[in-house]
Amino acid sequence: MHMKSWRNFFWVGSMLLVTSCSQHPVFKQYDPVFQPGDQQEWAAKNRNDQDWKKKIALTDGRVFWSRTKIDILEAPESLHPYGIRLHVYGEYEVFWDGVFIGKNGNPGQEAMLAPEGKMWATFIIPTHLTEKGEHLLAIRSSLHYFPDHVGIFGLEIDYYDDILTDRLIETSYMHIFAGAFLIASFYFLFLFLSDKKEYPMLVFSISCFLFFILILTEFIKAYVPIHYSLHHIRLQVIGILMFGISFLIPFYFSMQFPYPKRKLCLIIYAGILLLIFLIKYDFFDFTARIMALSMCVFSFGIVVFGAYKRIRGARLVLLTLLLCVLINFVTSFDKSLYAGFGLILLSMLYLLSLRIKEQRLAYENSLVQSTRLRLELLKKNIQPHFLMNTLTSLIDWVEESPKKGVLFIEALAKEFDLFNQIENQTLIPVSQEIALCRTHLEIMEYRKEINYSWEEEGIDPEQKIPPGILHTLLENGITHSLPLEGNNIKFKLIFESNAHYKCYKFLTFSRGVRQTTSNREEGTGIKYIKARLNESYHSKWDFTSEATAYGWKNNIKIYC
């Protein structure tokens, strides 16, 4: 997993390098000036446009002109024409040094004709008009749908072939990048569907899918012509996707690195994001930027807390976030956005892999533990201390008093039978466990010749408990106790339950073997009980075992 994340990291890194290494520009652009009205002479190169304005306000779709001075810094090689790529709202005609070089829609006729043209249009500039020196770009346009969007939002001059192919190459790389996240999204969705408790996987899957759509939406402009009247739809989609991702990433980190008052913090954060999303700014990218920034700040807080609490993986995620900030400083917003999101998603993937590994180890452990416990339960009846002492006593009874010997054998058979019934279960009805204890006492009476008695209080026979735990307590009680006056030892099982917990009290009324009443060191029996409780109730239990004035007291508490 580690290797994979590093490979991906290098891939993203090298891609960043490819996209950021642009050549020196071959042109210099001056501020455009605008003038409402429509005169063909305005296309001319050497016309006085001193009285034209840097900004104009339009209210309808009438024709207006813009003139932009451009210096060509380097003439193109022969037979390789320059092209110009414009990012401009409206339908327009393009003039270069007074020569009509292209058309994008039908300026002035938008109200009558169907929408035509696209947001990003590329035109060839005739070679003879691109010698080094001053040139003029004049645009005759109209903005029927968004009259307030006057301006040139992007202008690029380079070899015509390069302008067309560069964008496609970049787009193809980004689509490969997006595809990786699409696959991750499906993979983790299926994982989630197979285990519906794993919400981090679902959140990760949705985040990956949103990121996939975000890249697609961003780069669709390179190959799908979008009319300027529809462009805002694309921007809105990007806004919604940004909103989703900006919320989901900190939400995911909140799951992985829990902190106090999580719900409240997340609700407040969602409110802030919504506010940012709903307020309209003149500049669309601003919304995206603030959302990305909020996401970064909030995630940073969560991850720092996780690192402070020494949760596994938090440090690496923190490093990734710092790397994102660094990338943001050295590249443009667009690039750092994709690289940053990509890196953060990879770090989320890393966290998931850590958790999956932890779960797998825990599962394997629990399997081993269950087998071990099963064996331990089975061993109870064949371990030499029990078996050989029982057999020795049995031989003696058979030799001395065959009738009692037969009863002894029957009791033994009953205990073996009960053990066989519970041997492969993790929970059994308490009535079965009690039957086991009573049979065991019968056997021990033959062996020890002590009068054992058994009492119960408040037992609900249907309640379930792990097998062998009361039996183990009974064994301990027998081993460590001496009879009271009259050769008696009494065991008492009390069951109490309320809304919060169920409690089994197991009491031994006897003399202790040792003079001191210090706690017994934890033997295999107590370990078995604790392991069984862990297996069935995880950490929701409590077990105490202590000497009392009358003998011994064990307390098993199971929380609901």
Partner 1 sequence: MNILIIEDESRIAKRIARMAHDIFGNALQSIKHINTLHEALKFIQNNSMDLVLLDLNLNGDNGFDILTTAVSESFHTIIVSAYKDQAITAFEYGVLDFVPKPFNRDRLEQAFNRAIAKEKTGTHKIKLLAIKKRGRIRLIPIENLLFIKGAGAYTELFLADGTKELHDKSLEKLEQLLSHSFERIHKSYLVKMSEVKEIIVKSGSKYMAELKNGERIPIGRTKYKDIKARWL
Provide the binding-site residues for partner 1, judged by CB under 8 A.
384-385, 387-389, 391-397, 446-450, 476, 479-480, 482, 513-515, 523
CB of 462 to partner 1, least distance (A): 33
CB of 394 to partner 1, least distance (A): 8
> E strand or H helix at 488, and its extent?
strand 488-497
Three-class DSSP category at 182: helix
Distance CA 425, CA 421 (A): 8
For residues 58 and 474, which CB has a smaller minimum distance to partner 1 in the complex?
Answer: 474
For residues 386 and 504, which CB has a smaller minimum distance to partner 1 in the complex?
Answer: 386
- H helix count then E strand count, the chain: 13, 18
CB of 480 to partner 1, least distance (A): 6
Nearest CA to 36 out of 16, 18, 52 is that of 52
CB of 497 to partner 1, least distance (A): 32
Asked if 429 and 461 touch (Cβ cutoff 8 Å), the reply is yes
For residues 444 and 507, which CB has a smaller minimum distance to partner 1 in the complex?
Answer: 444
Asked if 452 and 475 touch (Cβ cutoff 8 Å), the reply is no
Nearest CA to 289 out of 270, 273, 267 is that of 273
Pairing outcome for strands 488-497 and 451-457: parallel
Asked if 54 and 31 touch (Cβ cutoff 8 Å), the reply is yes
Asked if 240 and 217 touch (Cβ cutoff 8 Å), the reply is no
Convert 136-158 to b/e letters by CB count within 10 Å (16 or more is b). bbbbbbbbbbebeebbbeebbbb
Angstrom CA distances, 197 to 260, 358, 377, 534, stand at 22, 15, 32, 21
CB of 505 to partner 1, least distance (A): 22
Nearest CA to 213 out of 251, 187, 249, 174 is that of 174
For residues 132 and 514, which CB has a smaller minimum distance to partner 1 in the complex?
Answer: 514
Instruction: Give residue for tokens 């899918």.
Output: 209
| 505 beta partners | 494, 555
> E strand or H helix at 58, and its extent?
none
CB of 384 to partner 1, least distance (A): 4
For residues 46 and 516, which CB has a smaller minimum distance to partner 1 in the complex?
Answer: 516
CB of 482 to partner 1, least distance (A): 7
For residues 53 and 511, which CB has a smaller minimum distance to partner 1 in the complex?
Answer: 511
CB of 468 to partner 1, least distance (A): 17
- Residue 145 falls in which region: left (phi positive, over 0), alpha (psi -120 to 50) or beta: alpha
For residues 489 and 558, which CB has a smaller minimum distance to partner 1 in the complex?
Answer: 489
For residues 464 and 530, which CB has a smaller minimum distance to partner 1 in the complex?
Answer: 530
Asked if 242 and 293 touch (Cβ cutoff 8 Å), the reply is no
For residues 499 and 513, which CB has a smaller minimum distance to partner 1 in the complex?
Answer: 513
CB of 549 to partner 1, least distance (A): 20
